Structure 1
Amino acid sequence: MIVPSVSVIVPTVNEANNLPHVLPRIPAWVEEVILVDGSSDDNTVAVARQLRPDIVVVEQPRLGKGAALAAGFAAARGDILITLDADGSADPREMASFVGALLAGADFVKGSRFLQGGETSDMEWYRRLGNWGLVHLVRLRFGGRYSDLCYGYNAFWRDVLPYLGVEIAPGFEIETQMSIRALQTKLAIVELPSREHARIHGVSNLRTLPDGWRVLKTIVRLGFTSGGKAVAVIRKRPI
């Protein structure tokens, strides 16, 4: 069996203090780590290169998390792509379970803070309530059984990237866009429990009301699209 290569994409904006808690914990079997930097004015890039000399640094072309991920995906060479936040909230050791689910037949794997075994220490009650409402709206309109919608810890095979429409979701709505597009194109989706810890240093760039509104608009917009042709091809994967 040929072992697939794995690329991890890490978007950053002023995360120099957090990277020592993130990059060294990425498993040794990950072949490529791509840091997409959004014009940090601290020494984020220098710290990243010191911690991991082989890291690939990409300059983010425009503002927004979606734009950062799109740039990272374009630069990645791996068969499997994993998105990881740089604030220390997600545990890189969970990647093994994500990759295992992909090797077992999944196309798209979502981390969930709300499945049994998952949890979050970084979400206020009103954000929990908003997530609950958005999840149920997606279930009603698109089907599926998502328990989490806006979490940034996901993994998928590179060959499904064209179906996810990443390039048209510039901000924090990117996770919602990818999740809905995966449903619309009938990808094999697996949710796995994930534990989200509080950000270690700094303040999140997420703005609850404006970004929640962008997520809602994304759901409404995609609700009026067919989502394109369902995936029905036999893929040539290195497994």
Structure 2
Amino acid sequence: MQPMQISSQAMPEAVRDYPFTVSVIIPAYNEAHGIAGVIERVRAVLPAAEIIVVDDCSRDETAAVAQAAGARVIRHPVNRGNGAAVKTGIRRARGEVVLLMDADGQMDPRYIPDLLGGIADGYDMVVGARTRDTQGDSVFRRWGNRALDALGSYLVETEVRDLTSGYRAMRRDVIMEFINLLPNRYSYPTTSTLALLKAGYHVGYVPVMGQRRQGGQSGQKLLRNGIRFGLIILRIVSLFAPLRVYFPVAISMQVLALLSFLISFFITDPLRFHIPNSAVGLFVGSIIIFMFGLNAEQVAALRFQRPPRIAEEE
């Protein structure tokens, strides 16, 4: 399913009526300094929405401040991660549509009407895709996100944008089909986008400009981000399209095996039919990798097989 870009007509002061109920989910950890301001700005755009703050066992007064600001607070007894907080919010939400955003003030609520407008137009998920002039992004992070987008596009065979953006709206019944796939840490945006695309759902994009973090200190570190990026790549390859990675690797090993044999036959041991150990190892390894990828592809296909009832309704 080709994802579409929804034109952004951000209306910071507009209050719209939607044909569905909305729950805004804000995962938070040690965000007492700015969470009240985020809630107030969201409430100004969505006065009737349910606002849920999932406090992931903060060490400060995040829960008390959020509750005083009018949010419904759900508190984890232990710190389980940003993704776990999002999953808790989705499970406990009462709205037909869930809108996810961070508690650090980097996501401008003025784009909420555009995200929800895309859902009203028929999309199952609408992602706030950050523009190049987004504030606060390092060069490393920007290029890493582009590489991840390219890999995601290759795996699901359609264009994807800003896979790491946590600013998104989605139909709750749709995301509940894949909630067990979402990790407890930081790659839930990537997983949710690719899962819906792989299953044939409609995903749209709204260009948004991110803002600098409002107070506090970011926990993002260069080494940690690099390790996390590698783990995300391994995860999405295994979950969504293993054969699109394992098959090229297997073919490359076959070519190397043939090259090793030709070098032995024409150069190192001319005109003597002898298969070197390197060629045997590469050939056998390529068969193993291909069969492993084929098996993983079948498992991945079962994950995204939609229930017969849903297919009949469409």
Partner of 1:164 in structure 2? Answer: 178
Do 1:109 and 1:191's aligned partners in 2 also have CA atoms closer than 8 Å?
Answer: yes
Find out whether 1:229 has 2:245 as its counterpart.
no
**CA deviation vs aligned residue, 1:111-154 (integer Å, no higher than 9, x gap):** 1013xxx7411210011111111111111111221121101101
- TM-score under structure 2 length normalisation: 0.69
The 3-state SS of whatever aligns with 2:24 is strand
Find out whether 1:137 has 2:151 as its counterpart.
yes
Instruction: Give the 3 Å change call, closer, same or farther, for CA 166–112 of structure 1 in structure 2.
Output: farther
**CA deviation vs aligned residue, 1:85-127 (integer Å, no higher than 9, x gap):** 000000112111111110111011111013xxx7411210011
The 3-state SS of whatever aligns with 1:67 is helix
2:129 to 100, 103, 112: 112
What amino acid is aligned across from residue 10 of structure 1 in structure 2? I
Instruction: Give the 3 Å change call, closer, same or farther, for CA 158–140 of structure 1 in structure 2.
Output: same
Partner of 2:278 in structure 1? Answer: none
Gapped runs of 5+ residues in structure 2? 1-16, 243-299
What amino acid is aligned across from residue 311 of structure 2 in structure 1? A
The more displaced of 98-107 and 201-210 is 201-210
Do 2:57 and 2:79's aligned partners in 1 also have CA atoms closer than 8 Å?
Answer: no
What amino acid is aligned across from residue 304 of structure 2 in structure 1? G
Do 1:67 and 1:171's aligned partners in 2 also have CA atoms closer than 8 Å?
Answer: yes
More contact order relative to length (CA 8 Å, sep ≥ 6): 1
Gapped runs of 5+ residues in structure 1? none
Find out whether 1:35 has 2:53 as its counterpart.
yes
Considering only CA atoms, is the larger Rg found in Structure 1 or Structure 2? 2
CA distance in 1, matches of 2:204, 2:182: 24
Q: CA offset at residue 30 of structure 1?
A: 4.0
Q: CA offset at residue 66 of structure 1?
A: 1.1
Instruction: Give the 3 Å change call, closer, same or farther, for CA 134–213 of structure 1 in structure 2.
Output: same
2:63 to 45, 66, 71: 45
CA distance in 2, matches of 1:59, 1:167: 22
Find out whether 1:11 has 2:90 as its counterpart.
no
Q: CA offset at residue 3 of structure 1?
A: 2.9
Partner of 1:128 in structure 2? Answer: 142
- TM-score under structure 1 length normalisation: 0.89
Greater percentage in helix? 2
Q: CA offset at residue 40 of structure 1?
A: 0.9
Instruction: Give the 3 Å change call, closer, same or farther, for CA 148–166 of structure 1 in structure 2.
Output: farther
What amino acid is aligned across from residue 234 of structure 1 in structure 2? E
Do 1:143 and 1:183's aligned partners in 2 also have CA atoms closer than 8 Å?
Answer: no
What amino acid is aligned across from residue 149 of structure 2 in structure 1? V
CA distance in 2, matches of 1:81, 1:233: 25
The 3-state SS of whatever aligns with 2:128 is strand
CA distance in 1, matches of 2:179, 2:238: 13
Q: CA offset at residue 163 of structure 1?
A: 3.0
